Amino acid sequence: MNNISIAVQGGAGEDSEFIKSHQSGYKKGLEDAVNTGYKILKGGGSALDAVENAVRSLEDNPLFNSGRGSALNNKGEVEMDASIMDGKKNNAGAVSMVRNVKNPVTLARFIMENTSHVFLSGAGALEIAKEEDLALEGDSYFITEHQVEEFIKDRKQDDYNAILKKRIHGTVGAVALDKAGNLAAATSTGGTPNCLDGRIGDSCVIGAGCYANNSSCAVSGTGDGELLIINVIAYSIAFYMELKNCSLQDACDYVIHQRNMDVEGDIGVIAVDTRGNLGVCFNSERMHRAWKNNEEKITVKIYK
């Protein structure tokens, strides 16, 4: 059997009492997402199908900040971002500021495969979802008790100027290699509590929070979204790997721990190369992640 690999991530950043008290739930969610994608790969399915369905699993899980568990912006509303990239065709799709779409990653894939565009946002993206009968949910579906508590807590602590300078966290993602040797990546987010409405993070920005190319690797990023955008994290890893002809893990370590060693903020990535080697790297207190290679036992971790 040719090598197959999949990895998922459920966000990187500071630790919290909520995360500590829900470790088993987070680990179960990560394991379910990996198994969902791995089953597709083992059956000869594409890396694209694997990452889409792994991310859908995380979007459906209310513990993770995407889809059903999305954060509430400063108006108490949900705006979601997502992207997906095909390493074989070097094609991508992305959506931002989406509401009511149950699985934004599926909408991103539809845009990639069925339109001449890469990136749609807001009402235009929602209209596509409605026209194509993609699954939609009412506002209440996306609002969890935990995210309401986070919204209220930050609302009490932050004034408008504090919100403008607030660090942004909360992502899920997946990367995969299929039996045909093709790579794919997908990333999705529900933003962060009390962020400004209209804010766009790295999860929908190709080259920042999502990148895949069969000549190098597939990457899904997480952490402070603005930092991943400014430093073009996902593409930098792939470019450095090609430029230096180095291993995937060396490229991840260089980009995060050396090239961006002076960056004040959290950055994390999961990645896979064309041989099925996985790369995992982060500079934060924790990063929810899980992976599986071929017939090896699944690995699930939150802390270093």
Mean pLDDT, residues 126-142? 97
Delimit the domains of the chain by residue range.
5-303
Active site residue 171: yes
Candidate from 78-87, 117-126, 189-198 with smallest mean pLDDT: 189-198
Provide the β-strand partners of residue 121.
96
Mean pLDDT, residues 268-274? 98
| Alpha helices (H) along the chain | 17-21, 23-42, 47-59, 104-114, 122-131, 145-157, 160-164, 225-230, 233-244, 248-253
Cα–Cα distance measured from residue 130 to residue 110, given in angstroms and rounded to the nearest whole number: 12
Q: Please, which pLDDT band fits residue 168 given cuts at 50, 70 and 90? A: low
Query: With 70 as the cut, is the pLDDT of residue 166 above it?
Result: no
Cα–Cα distance measured from residue 280 to residue 184, given in angstroms and rounded to the nearest whole number: 16
Q: Please, which pLDDT band fits residue 151 given cuts at 50, 70 and 90? A: confident
Q: What is the DSSP string of 146-214?
A: HHHHHHHHHHHH--HHHHHT------EEEEEE-TTS-EEEEEEE---TTPPTT---GGGSBTTTEEE-T
Q: What is the DSSP letter of 248?
A: H
Average pLDDT, the chain: 94
For the whole prediction, is pTM greater than 0.75? yes
Cα–Cα distance measured from residue 188 to residue 196, given in angstroms and rounded to the nearest whole number: 18
Question: Measured between alpha carbons, how far is residue 243 from residues 15, 89, 144, 237, 268 in Å?
Answer: 35, 21, 44, 10, 21
Query: With 90 as the cut, is the pLDDT of residue 296 above it?
Result: no
CA 40 to chain CA centroid, nearest Å: 19
Query: Residue 8: helix, strand or coil by DSSP?
Result: strand
Percent of the chain past pLDDT 90, that is, above it, reads 86
What is 5-303's CATH topology?
Answer: Glutamine Phosphoribosylpyrophosphate, subunit 1, domain 1 (3.60.20)
| Residues in Cβ contact with 221 at an 8 Å cutoff, skipping those fewer than 6 apart | 171, 173, 187, 202, 208, 209, 210, 228, 233, 234, 267, 268, 269
Catalytic residue among 36, 106, 144, 171: 171
Query: With 60 as the cut, is the pLDDT of residue 28 above it?
Result: yes
Mean pLDDT, residues 234-249? 98
Query: With 80 as the cut, is the pLDDT of residue 158 above it?
Result: no
Quick one: CA dihedral 130, 34, 290, 248, positive or negative? negative
